[in-house]
Amino acid sequence: MTASETAQLAEADRHVADAHRRIARQRELIRETASSGRRPEAAERLLAVMLRALPGFEDLRQQLLQVLTAR
């Protein structure tokens, strides 16, 4: 892999890791919201959207890896 390709893969890795961090934080916010007596439904809906989007990030990263290693 070239340096540019390695950088692309590293960026994809960062995006996936960032998505996982955001999901973890959203889960924390849901717990905090519920424990403070507020309704967490909106936060839960956002979490559901985030969880549906995550496989797309992971798939794109995998596709990029396959393209780069096939060369």
Whether residue 71 has pLDDT greater than 90: no
pLDDT tens-digit profile of 52-61?
A: 999 999 999 9
Angle at CA 35, nearest 5°, toward 32 and 39? Answer: 85
Q: Residue 52, exposed/middle/buried by CB under 10 A (0-12, 13-18, 19+)?
A: exposed
The pLDDT-based confidence of 1 (bands split at 50, 70, 90) is: confident
pLDDT tens-digit profile of 8-46?
A: 999 999 999 999 999 999 999 999 999 999 999 999 999
